[in-house]
Amino acid sequence: MIKGVTKTEAQYRAVKMDSSSSLKDFSVDRKKYYKKYIKGEKVEDKDNLSATMGRIVETLLLEPEEFDNRFYMSACMSTPTGLMLDFVEALYRVTAESTNGAGEVTKTMAEMTQEAYVLSGFKIKYEAVIAKFLDSDAQIYYDEIRKVRTNNLTVVNTQDISNAERIVEELKTNFVTKGIVNLVNSSRYTILNQFQVEGYEIDGHLFKSMMDKVVIDHDEHTIQIYDLKCVWAVEGFYEEYYLYRRAYIQAYLYWSAMIHLARDLNNEYYGYTVLYPQFMICDSTNYFNPLIYTLDLDDMQDAYAGFEHKGRKYPGVKSLIQDLHWAVENDVWNMSRENYVNNGRINIKG
């Protein structure tokens, strides 16, 4: 029987099963998928600021008790930005790559900062960058991420938290979102935050999903899935996130997960109608009004079969599963199934 469960984020991620995130990774970067999910190597995901803000907002809104398990409060008043942030992140990666199995750093700080300087793309002289870095918040931040990232914690500062708290308050009071965010368990509604479904099947492939918010309406016998996203461009969500970050994969898998539950004779929600997922979108700077993006059957069919938008093709869940199965069975990760079958020959126009 497929079960809906509630676990910690760490417990969920420990389950060795594909998810919308891993399938998305496979669709855009087979090398990353192979290293992370097949070889089990540590792959650093470079979170952008809006993604980090989204995780903070999500935690404060849905699971505030988990904050200390996910974040580390920085001693810095503000974390580095721009090229200095790129430099610090590059220095962190170089340091990690230069650390042996005994935890010893095998290169000098001078050697590592030289490498990080080249990787960061600074145009000013190396000496000027080091002068800005040493004994600054940037160096404190570097020391902090070295210490806490091994424990899967994200470094945040008081400014980040204050902004996230304002976004949470906006979601709770805004006319667009308050009716969803403020719903609580009652005789009519069951509210499931960070709800996880493991072991559901699509085209013979097992998946797991963790959904931000699921609203069960016992009067209407419906199940509504909401996914919260914090982005830079609220009104540009469709092209800049839904398509670019392939969130349609996530929408389809979430929908499929709850349909599997609703079809399970042993599940308490058996026979309920699973409504199409909705995206609740907030602005990472808390300026633009939050919006709800709704989906329909056509969107679900496109997400499964694949579709084209403005001349660009977006692979569907069906073909991605086929491609993933082929890659696993043949242990080929440096070429797509289609290109392999065609002996590496591609029409220039696709």
| 3-state SS, one letter per residue, for the chain | CCEEECCCHHHHHHCCCECHHHHHHHHHCHHHHHHHHHCCCCCCCCCCHHHHHHHHHHHHHHCHHHHHHHEEECCCCCCCCHHHHHHHHHHHHHHHHCECCCCCECCCHHHHHHHHHHHHCCCCCHHHHHHHHCCCHHHHHHHHHHHHHHHCCEEECHHHHHHHHHHHHHHHHCCCCHHHHCCCCCCCEEEEEEEEEEEEEECCEEEEEEEEEEEEECCCCEEEEEEEEEECCHHHHHHHHHHCCCHHHHHHHHHHHHHHHHCCCCCCCCCCEECCCEEEEEECCCCCCCEEEECCHHHHHHHHHCEEECCEEECCHHHHHHHHHHHHHHCCCCCCHHHHHCCCCCCCCC
Nearest partner of 169 among 66, 60, 78, 68, judged by Cα: 60
* Cα dihedral: 215, 217, 221, 224 (round 10): -30
**Can you give the pLDDT at residue 77?**
76
User: Is the model's pLDDT at 27 over the cut of 50?
Assistant: yes
Instruction: Report the range of poorest mean pLDDT among 69-73, 99-103, 285-289, 301-305.
Output: 99-103
Domain edges within the chain: 3-27+169-335, 44-163
**Can you give the pLDDT at residue 324?**
97
Instruction: Report the range of poorest mean pLDDT among 8-12, 164-168, 169-173.
Output: 8-12
Which pTM does this prediction carry?
0.86
Sequence letter at residue 234: V
* Pairing of the two strands 205-217 and 307-309: unpaired
Q: How far is Cα of residue 138 from the mean position of the Cα atoms in its chain? A: 26
Q: 294 forms bridges with which residues in the sheet? A: 278
Q: What is the pLDDT of residues 325-348, one digit of tens each?
A: 999 999 999 999 999 999 999 888
Six-digit token pair at 133? Answer: 């870095």
d(CA 18, CA 325): 12
**Can you give the pLDDT at residue 1?**
39
**Can you give the pLDDT at residue 44?**
65
Six-digit token pair at 333? Answer: 């990760």
* Pairing of the two strands 278-283 and 291-294: antiparallel
**Can you give the pLDDT at residue 7?**
57
Angle of helix 82-97 relative to helix 126-133, nearest 10 degrees, comes to: 90
CB 218 within 8 Å of CB 187: yes
pLDDT band with cut points at 50, 70 and 90 for residue 14: confident
**Can you give the pLDDT at residue 11?**
73
Give me the sign of the Cα torsion angle 67, 69, 75, 81.
negative
3-27+169-335: which CATH number, 3.80.10, 2.60.40, 1.10.10, 3.90.320? 3.90.320
Sequence letter at residue 144: E
d(CA 53, CA 58): 8
Six-digit token pair at 78? Answer: 């503000």
d(CA 303, CA 348): 26
